[in-house]
Amino acid sequence: MTANPDAPTCAVPAPAGLSRIGLIVPSSNTTMETELPELFRRQSEATGHRYTFHSARAAMKQVTREELLAMVDRAADCATAVSDAAVDVIAYACLVAVMAQGPGAHKESEQVIADAARANGHPAEVVSSAGALVRTLRGLGYSRVAIVTPYMAPLTRMVREYIEGEGIEVLDAVALEVPDNLAVGRLDPERLPDIARGLRRGGADAIVLSACVQMPSLPAVQRVEDELGLPVITAATATAYEVLAALGHTPAIAGAGRLLAGASAHEAEGA
């Protein structure tokens, strides 16, 4: 998560009780702009604070290394465009596009976006889904995980290696092998509980139910967590967690796993 200090700005602050969230998403993404607003709707129900979402899109249809790298090249332009809305935080919502650049790439990607927003006169906090996932796992002390991805096997291996490069052992990684990003967005989250049951999770600290912001997973998160008794995290819930942290807000989101449920859930976990 990258801060943007001490820069001249022409931003008009959001009204009291309102935060603006910018999203940079692949052009074919249909999930992040539904799951993230739903999570923040639940946050608003609990706290009364309101959130609005403002998106910029970067061309990407097939989940191939070539298209992912081309999308990354457009990140700065997207950051400039979305920062025109004077957003408080920008979420770069394509996990695999960042990880495809190599170990630790989330840090550079977040800096590129932060620099572009600041140069545009609208500095904002920056969170990437890739960075949010690995930082959240590490921050909670989850050093052994099992993961589910929609990617082809080579990209799934790359995601696994990226996570392991951050000091987190991946005990099992299921690749659903769906190359078309629109098709990924049409995957049925009702299949995820059965897939999760089949994971090799002996010794796991947590399950990453969707290591992809495009694969729908929110309806299954709480069910899998309740059934298997392990914390369940997704790229989307980790991103929401870091966006809230960037805004200085305490999570209070129901039905999306203990990560976003607030302090009481973590106290119960440690009891």
Annotated binding-site positions for substrate = 29, 94-96, 151, 181, 213-214
Residue set of the binding site: 29, 94-96, 151, 181, 213-214
Q: Which two tokens stand for residue 170?
A: 């991946």
Q: Is 94 annotated in the active site?
A: yes
How far apart CA 68 and CA 58 sit, in angstroms, is: 10
Burial of 202 (0-12, 13-18, 19+ CB in 10 A): exposed
User: Which residue among the candidates 1, 11, 78, 94 is catalytic per the annotation?
Assistant: 94
Q: Is 212 annotated in the active site?
A: yes
**Which residues lie across from 149 on neighbouring strands?**
175
**Which residues lie across from 174 on neighbouring strands?**
148
User: Which residue among the candidates 76, 78, 211, 212 is catalytic per the annotation?
Assistant: 212
The alpha-carbon radius of gyration of the chain (Å, integer) is 17
82 in Cβ contact with 55 (< 8 Å) = yes
148 in Cβ contact with 206 (< 8 Å) = no
Residues labelled catalytic: 94, 212
